[in-house]
Structure 1
Amino acid sequence: MMITTRTPLRASFVGGGTDLPNYYREYGGAVVSTALRLYVDVSVRRRSALMGPRYRLDCGTHEEVDNIGAIEHPIVREALRMLDVDVPLEIVSYSDVPSGTGLGSSSSFTVGLLHALEIMLGRQPAPAQLAAAAFQLEAVILDQPIGRQDQTIAALGGLQHIRFLRDDRVEARPAPTPTPTSIALERGGLLFYLGGQRRAGPLLRSLQTPSDAQRQGLRAIAGTCEAFGAALDQGAKLAKLGEILDQTWQLKRELSPGVASPLVDQAYAAAQAAGAYGGKLLGAGGTGCLLVLADPKRHPGIRAALARFAELPFQFSAHGSRVLHAATPQREHPSVSTPP
């Protein structure tokens, strides 16, 4: 049996940081995010007992081991333990972007892996169940200082307004954008990979127990999320959405040291000088992907200003994690017996 899932990466417009448990359990949080047509594919295949080590992994690194406890990849190891999987497996992943780009690839991998394993076990998990299980694995079992938006958007897909309630419930609904507004938002977006791989842990760890100043900053970011959502509801022009995005970025870059590097500031200033309405760095900060909003007529100039950086396609994906391939062999491998 082989199962392959495809799970989208994400771009967060506003609200990042308010999805951290220590914040939303006190104040409530919200984000507006979209799934992207950039994906992580995960394939899980049952191995024959005749083919050597029980577990063979190609998920960024190559591993061949005989027991789950020996698996070095923490997400794979704990996913197998969480779902009580005890069969020989080969697990392979592919991604459209490198890790550490700020597009939520770690959570997309987690969601996609859990999805594939659940299907292999004969279960059909709901998107909300996948998101909750992925967050439990990453944030609780592995003690990663991450929020809840990445797993949610990876499982659900689409352009979503997601609220994180004080009692740990998550409420997500498609952002009710008039069609011209959602089209303008998608067509007006440009995404550039600035290079390098940032470490989100140290940046997010400082928000685990936020200072009074950080709490104030997060509350202001929550306010920009409400403003962005209202602007979408009202069919606002792209310039207004870009203005709110810029306000969000200015607030985010003050949250903790290291969020905005000189390289990020230079790239953002160059985009604005070329006509961008606004933008932000995706993910925790440091480096990664820069998202800007601008009139499409300004795109050639912005591309020229940021020509040294790789551009990634900025297109919305309506789909969350889904099964691309599920094949069951026509017959089992024949058993091997010793002649009499």
Structure 2
Amino acid sequence: MTPTSVCASAPTRIDLAGGTLDIWPLNLMFDDPVTLNMAVSIRAHACVTLRKDRKIRLVSEDGKLKMEFPSIRSINHDHPLGLISRIAEHFIEPGAGVTIVARSEAPRGAGMAGSSALTIALCAALTKITGQKIDKRKLIETAKDIEAAHLKIPTGLQDYGAAVYGSAHAFSFPPGGMVREKFARQGQLLADRIVLFYSGASRLSGINNWEMFKRVMEKERKALNLFTKISECALRAVEALRSDDILKFDRAINDEWSARKKLFPAISTPRIDKAIDAGKRAGATSARICGAGGGGCFFVIADPKKRADVIDAVERTGCENLPFSLSNIGLKT
């Protein structure tokens, strides 16, 4: 029996190394690129309820926004809830009506793939309520394509992988699809050492990723060299996790961040630079922006014994600590 109401949730993620290299065809232009991330307990939620009329009602609880359309045929996407309406259009048959309520626990523009987690959750809820069958791989591809259609730029795969599978993973991208290597035990080790902060300013990751994407496609030598360095650092980070070597992992993250800042200086902001410097003076050993940067969230890595001192030092710069835990559970419906 088809349910009349379905709720789903999916975790956001902290990307640790190798981001942007999960975007096709960049994933095929470098030698065995890998993207490393961890799913966290800060989740995105979507609830879908069938209506007796044909109306399509969209609600963003955290955004405090509402939209309503007479029917699925009358829907358009030129509004702040355009991603949600585009997902609805993909799944809802003419003549059916639904109310969709979405909520994200992550700050807006955090760089934690909140929109991708929401896309996965909403696609899963709509799939279930419409009685469709879809496997995880197809779900990821569908979500990726819908969000790319909304943004009008290419999107990668790592965000959707974290949302579906949870835990910590290294994702690689050979011809034919995405392959994942799970690091559940090491992920907990990282969660004990990673301290997450919100800078107080949102960003739009698609813009920054698109700029870097274009530079590679235009064969800019500096971009190619630095992406090669980023790819090498990500592989070093994965090897360090395989051998439980947190010091080598730490160095790989620092080196990846240095290469990424050279590639795209606007990835950081004066406030984030100041906060990272303060964190390192208090005992943090490495740091990195979440997502494509320009604002949003960042993290530092510190010995658990120094966590309190690091949090205090960074929060004195005006940034907000965001507590989290490793999410071993991915998509839930």
State the TM-score, normalizing by the size of structure 2: 0.89
Distance, in Å, in 1 between the alignment partners of 2:155 and 2:261 is: 18
State the TM-score, normalizing by the size of structure 1: 0.88
Alignment of 1:93-172 (within 5 A): 93-140=102-149, 142-165=151-174, 167-172=175-180
Letter in 1 for 2:320: A
Partner of 2:76: 70
What is the CA-CA distance between 1:67 and the residue it aligns to?
Answer: 3.0
Normalized per residue, which structure has more helix?
2
Structure 2: segments with no counterpart, 5+ residues:
none
**Are the counterparts in 2 of residues 274 and 302 from structure 1 also a CA contact under 8 Å?**
yes
Alignment of 1:23-34 (within 5 A): 23-27=26-30, 28-34=32-38
Secondary structure of 2:124's aligned partner: helix
Distance, in Å, in 1 between the alignment partners of 2:151 and 2:203 is: 19
Secondary structure of 1:195's aligned partner: coil
Partner of 1:46: 50
How well do the aligned residues superpose, as a CA RMSD in angstroms?
1.7
Deviations 1:5-36 (A, max 9, x none): 01100011111121121311322531111110
What is the CA-CA distance between 1:141 and the residue it aligns to?
Answer: 6.0
Could you tell which deviates more after superposition, 219-228 or 308-317? Answer: 308-317
Alignment of 1:203-282 (within 5 A): 203-209=208-214, 210=216, 211-236=220-245, 238-282=246-290
**Are the counterparts in 2 of residues 35 and 316 from structure 1 also a CA contact under 8 Å?**
yes
Larger Rg: 1
Partner of 2:10: 7
What is the CA-CA distance between 1:108 and the residue it aligns to?
Answer: 0.6
Secondary structure of 1:253's aligned partner: helix
Distance, in Å, in 1 between the alignment partners of 2:187 and 2:52 is: 48
Deviations 1:249-285 (A, max 9, x none): 1111122241111111111111111111101010101
What is the CA-CA distance between 1:205 and the residue it aligns to?
Answer: 1.4
Distance, in Å, in 1 between the alignment partners of 2:167 and 2:133 is: 20
Secondary structure of 1:32's aligned partner: strand
**Are the counterparts in 2 of residues 45 and 89 from structure 1 also a CA contact under 8 Å?**
yes
**Are the counterparts in 1 of residues 18 and 35 from structure 2 also a CA contact under 8 Å?**
yes
What is the CA-CA distance between 1:164 and the residue it aligns to?
Answer: 1.5
Could you list the structure 1 runs, at least 4 aligned residues long, displaced by more than 6 angstroms after superposition: none
Secondary structure of 1:306's aligned partner: helix
- The change in CA–CA distance for 1:159 and 1:142 in structure 2 (over 3 A counts) is same
Count of aligned positions: 315
Give me the identity figure in percent. 24
Distance, in Å, in 1 between the alignment partners of 2:223 and 2:71 is: 43
Q: Out of 66, 85, 96, which is 2:93 matched to? A: 85
Structure 1: segments with no counterpart, 5+ residues:
324-340
Tell whether 2:31 aligns with 1:22: no
